[in-house]
């Protein structure tokens, strides 16, 4: 019933990806892979648009991922053997010890992101590309939050881009939530099993931005 909508979404997004990647060498294109539904769709679209299964995927393991997210990342890696799959992880610091020292993260002070996500990803990118300009495809969508609604679909502004030396592009920027599920289910794309438990997002299990529903589900499925 929604085939025309699906075809429009696919054609528009893949055209955007090809155009964005035009000015970059094939090896300087990166996919930011979180294990969530949006980055899964972005990865699938990018590989199909560029006809390149060997794109670098970077998975930022914050050490606070759902067990099902880590399991999905391993499954993704196995199902996409040609992808260059890099894991970015802070192995020097322990989240719980840092919490004891400076207090747990809060909505207005999310120190965890820079320490356990942005920092490790930056180190991986630096080791791979040094000073080369890169293009990273993100699974960011305008309707996710007020702050994200202010982003540009292609962003290289130093103040907006958390990790320097990169331009970030969001192929699914204008997609609605239901568009994501239309694509995943119609194209039979494997996705994180946490969504089948009722989670609507699968970031860190203890993120200050999680809602009461997510905390309730975690108390059932991850009581420890």
Global pTM reads 0.92
pLDDT of residue 131: 84
Give the model confidence (pLDDT) of 67-90 as tens digits: 999 999 999 999 999 999 999 999
Residues of the chain under the 70 pLDDT cut: 145-149, 157-164
The pair phi, psi for residue 4, each rounded to 5°, is -65, -40
Give the model confidence (pLDDT) of 170-194 as tens digits: 999 999 999 999 999 999 999 999 9
| 45 in Cβ contact with 171 (< 8 Å) | yes
Half-sphere exposure of residue 78: CA atoms within 13 angstroms, side-chain side: 7
């Amino acid at each position: 019933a929604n085939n025309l909508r699906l075809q429009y979404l696919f054609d528009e997004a893949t055209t955007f990806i090809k155009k964005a990647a035009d000015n970059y060498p094939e090896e300087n294109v990166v996919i930011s892979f979180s294990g969530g539904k949006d980055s899964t769709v972005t990865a699938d679209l990018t590989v199909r648009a560029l006809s390149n299964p060997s794109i670098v995927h970077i998975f930022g393991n914050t050490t606070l991922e759902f067990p099902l997210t880590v399991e999905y990342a391993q499954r993704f890696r196995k199902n996409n053997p040609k992808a260059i799959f890099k894991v970015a992880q802070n192995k020097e610091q322990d989240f719980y010890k840092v919490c004891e020292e400076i207090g747990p993260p809060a909505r207005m002070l999310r120190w965890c992101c820079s320490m356990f996500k942005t920092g490790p990803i930056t180190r991986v990118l630096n080791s791979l590309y040094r000073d080369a300009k890169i293009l990273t495809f993100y699974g960011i969508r305008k309707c996710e939050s007020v702050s994200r609604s202010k982003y540009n679909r292609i962003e290289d502004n130093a103040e907006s881009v958390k990790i320097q030396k990169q331009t970030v592009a969001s192929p699914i920027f204008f997609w609605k939530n239901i568009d994501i599920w239309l694509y995943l289910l119609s194209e039979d794309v494997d996705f994180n099993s946490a969504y089948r438990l009722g989670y609507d997002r699968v970031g860190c299990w203890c993120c200050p931005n999680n809602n009461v529903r997510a905390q309730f589900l975690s108390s059932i499925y991850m009581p420890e």
